[in-house]
Amino acid sequence: MSRLLRCHVGEELPIVTLPPVSRLDLIKYAGASGDYNPIHTVDDEAKKAALPAIIAHGMWTMGNLAKLFTPYHEEGFIQDYQIRFRGMVFLGDIITLKARLTEENVQYSTFKVNAVNQNGVDVIKGIVTFAKYKDNEGSS
Amino acid sequence: MFKEAIGKRSSGVKNVVERGAVKKFAESIGDLHPIFVDEEFAKTTRYKKNIAPPTFPRVFDYGVIDELDLPAKGLIHGEQKYHYKRPLLVGEEIICYQEVEEYYEKQGKLGNMGFLVLKQYGETLSEELIFTAEQVVIINETVRKVMSI
């Protein structure tokens, strides 16, 4: 359970690679988030907006990236989560989610996080500050 | 037009961290962990209740800022931040509102870009701040020309 607290500076949390982005993924996210901007689901609307094709919601990728921390919910919580949207995500892209511990003290673990596409390009990049519960010290 | 909107704020809107909405959201980001969706499991955790994923506040209604007229198309989401005091609990009621924090322009690859910073707030009914969210919306030159601003 307590893998995050045992992670050392410079180490990565287990990496997650998502299945290729599908249209259904984006339709589901549109429905769940209420973001119905058609550039994410309708080909013609993406073209009208001068995009090469429909693109994933940036918030879909940001939502996915946060799940690297879900298994550690008993140790603490994501206090700060900041992301820059750097590249577009298209249908069929294979996105890999990463988090590397960069700084640690009694209260916080700070991670550099990013989501990379199959070409090695960062599509989002940012920082997660994970606030640690005090009563978790030393537990397994 | 955006500069004048700095500091303008919407009225608070009551939102519920609705169980079904949390489940649907968790599913849409491929994170159906029992901490989000299993009521029995939640009882065994420190929260005693299910919690919502950190990007869930995307679904809330933050009210309308009357003085802010954003175009329906051509906006780019540049940055997003969340700050939490604690996770959101399934079933709780949250008052949400938003304000225009900043607007500035910068010369970029695609011409003169506008950067609009919107800050969103989520409080309990007793006005305890639980989270803030900040989004940077980029408005490109073409869109600004159409809006003649």
pLDDT number for residue A63: 98
What does the pLDDT profile of chain B (149 residues) look like in tens digits? 788 999 999 999 999 999 999 999 999 999 999 999 999 999 999 999 999 999 999 999 999 999 898 877 778 899 999 999 999 999 999 999 999 999 999 987 768 889 999 999 999 999 999 999 999 999 887 666 666 54
A25 min Cα distance to partner chain B (Å): 7
- Mean pLDDT, all residues of chain A: 93
Question: Between chains, do A78 and B84 touch, taking CB under 8 Å as contact?
Answer: yes
C-beta separation of A129 from A80 below 8 A: yes
Is residue B88 situated within a structural domain? Answer: yes
pLDDT number for residue A40: 95
pLDDT number for residue B144: 65
Is residue B85 situated within a structural domain? Answer: yes
Residue B88: domain span: 3-16+61-148
Contacts of B78 in chain A (CB under 8 A): 84-85
Enter the ipTM. 0.94
B54 min Cα distance to partner chain A (Å): 7
Neighbours of A114 (CB within 10 A): 19
Q: How far apart are CA B4 and CA B68, in angstroms?
A: 9
Is residue B50 situated within a structural domain? Answer: no
* Residues contacting A66, CB < 8 A, separation 6+: A78, A81, A128, B29, B31, B53, B54, B55
C-beta separation of B33 from B5 below 8 A: no
Question: Between chains, do A31 and B29 touch, taking CB under 8 Å as contact?
Answer: no
Give the closest residue to B83 by CA, choosing from B46, B125, B134, B35.
Answer: B134
Is residue B65 situated within a structural domain? Answer: yes
Is residue B37 situated within a structural domain? Answer: no
The CATH number assigned to the domain holding B104 equals 3.10.129.10
Confidence of residue A138 (pLDDT cuts 50, 70, 90): very low
A71 min Cα distance to partner chain B (Å): 8
Is this prediction's pTM over 0.90? yes
Query: Tokens standing for A112?
Result: 């550099």
* Single-letter amino acid code for the residue at A35: D
Question: Between chains, do A63 and B80 touch, taking CB under 8 Å as contact?
Answer: no
Facing residue for A85 by CB, picked from B33, B46, B79: B79
Give the closest residue to B125 by CA, choosing from B78, B92, B89.
Answer: B92
Is residue B123 situated within a structural domain? Answer: yes
Contacts of A58 in chain B (CB under 8 A): 77, 80
Is residue B36 situated within a structural domain? Answer: no
Facing residue for A77 by CB, picked from B36, B73, B86: B86
CB pairs under 8 A between A and B: 100
pLDDT number for residue B13: 98
Q: How many domains does chain B have?
A: 1
Contacts 24+ apart (CB under 8 A), B5-8: B5/B65, B5/B67, B5/B68, B5/B100, B5/B103, B6/B100, B6/B101, B6/B102, B6/B103, B7/B99, B7/B100, B8/B65, B8/B66, B8/B67, B8/B68, B8/B99, B8/B100
Q: What are the φ and ψ backbone dihedral angles of B59, each rounded to 5 degrees?
A: -85, -15
Is residue B78 situated within a structural domain? Answer: yes
Neighbours of A67 (CB within 10 A): 20
pLDDT number for residue B142: 67
Indicate whether A140 pLDDT > 50. no
